[in-house]
């Protein structure tokens, strides 16, 4: 029987050799027939501590490793952090200063009275 493979986002990496992965799935609402998102968190074994919080990972079903850990992070999904660099932000365009607002006749009449 093949092992299940899930894809999710690492939400916590504080523990040694463990990462918490949130896996989202789309489910149709039974009454309203709209698709809604459901999520579940899994504790996965990360032997080399390569996965960091916010990183997309794939996890595979495995034998029980501890009380809550029954998943292992796949090696190709866990790339070292130095390899994955964030995209550089574009510098903001300088904006021209705004012209002062013109006073309307109603505002001028109110200021006199």
Strands 71-73 and 5-12: unpaired
Instruction: Report the chain's mean pLDDT, rounded to a whole number.
Output: 86
- Assigned domain for 53 exists: yes
Give burial (CB, 10 Å; 0-12/13-18/19+) of 111.
Answer: exposed
Over residues 22-62, the pLDDT tens digits come to 999 999 999 999 999 999 999 999 999 999 999 999 999 99
- Assigned domain for 14 exists: yes
Q: For residue 61, what pLDDT is reported? A: 96
- Assigned domain for 36 exists: yes
Q: For residue 85, what pLDDT is reported? A: 55
Residue 59, domain CATH:
2.40.50.140
The residue ranking higher by pLDDT, 56 or 110, is 56
Q: For residue 86, what pLDDT is reported? A: 58
Which residue range forms the structural domain that includes residue 55? 5-73
- Assigned domain for 100 exists: no
CA–CA distance, 23 with 58 (Å, rounded to integer): 10
| pTM, full prediction | 0.65
């Amino acid at each position: 029987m093949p092992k299940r493979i899930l894809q999710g986002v690492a939400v916590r990496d504080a523990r040694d050799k463990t990462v918490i992965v949130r896996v989202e799935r789309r489910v149709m609402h039974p009454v309203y027939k709209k698709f809604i998102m459901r999520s579940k968190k899994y504790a996965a074994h990360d032997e080399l501590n390569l996965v960091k919080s916010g990183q997309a990972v794939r996890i595979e079903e495995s034998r029980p490793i501890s009380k809550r850990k029954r998943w292992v992070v796949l090696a190709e999904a866990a790339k070292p952090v130095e390899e994955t660099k964030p995209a550089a932000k574009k510098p903001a365009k300088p904006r021209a200063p705004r012209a002062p607002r013109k006073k309307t006749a109603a505002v001028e009449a109110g200021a006199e009275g």
